[in-house]
Amino acid sequence: MKLKHFLWRCLQNSLPVNEAIYKRIRKGSSLCNCCGEDTETIEHIFFFCPKAQVVWKIVPVSWERITELQSNIWRWWDAVMQSAKEEQGMDRIKLTVNILWQIWKAGNKMTFQSKNVDAKLIVDKAQ
Ligand SMILES: [Zn+2]
């Protein structure tokens, strides 16, 4: 259930990412807490942050054919869901949600405890 709620918040764009926080309170920074190189949006955290890219490289599930949808998590997720009926589709989807969740948790660790979670550990935890 925790994961369902998390996913719902991802798709509603209601996770507290820096871009949204900055827009609301005009304080702090809209940059990513992990890399500091780009605006922290949900798509940046999950796909474009160098940290996330390492994770996706080693994770045993590939969404390469929908890479072009990564700039919009809603469209990307829609495409992921379309693979549900494929062989082992649901397993791949579950693993994918877990990966997103672990990336999100690792980002929080970085933000609140300045602790860096290794990409390998993120993938291990997701499995
Ligand atoms: Zn980043």
Q: How far is the CA of 79 from the centre of ligand 1 (A)?
A: 24
Q: Which residues surround ligand 1, an ion (CB under 5 A)?
A: 32, 34-35, 49
DSSP code for 86: S
Q: How far is the CA of 46 from the centre of ligand 1 (A)?
A: 9
Using CA atoms of 75, 76, 80, 81 in order, give the dihedral in degrees to the nearest 10. -30
Q: How far is the CA of 66 from the centre of ligand 1 (A)?
A: 21
Q: How far is the CA of 35 from the centre of ligand 1 (A)?
A: 4
**Which tokens sit at 26?**
């005009």
pLDDT of residue 1: 64
Q: How many CB atoms lie within 10 A of CB 90?
A: 11
Residue-range domain boundaries for the chain: 2-126
C-alpha to C-alpha distance for 77 and 19, rounded to whole angstroms:
21
pLDDT of residue 115: 93
pLDDT in tens, the chain (127 residues): 689 999 999 998 889 999 999 999 998 999 999 999 999 999 999 999 999 999 999 999 989 889 999 999 999 999 999 998 898 999 999 999 999 999 999 999 998 999 999 999 999 999 9
Q: How far is the CA of 126 from the centre of ligand 1 (A)?
A: 20
pLDDT of residue 106: 95
**Which tokens sit at 43?**
């798509």
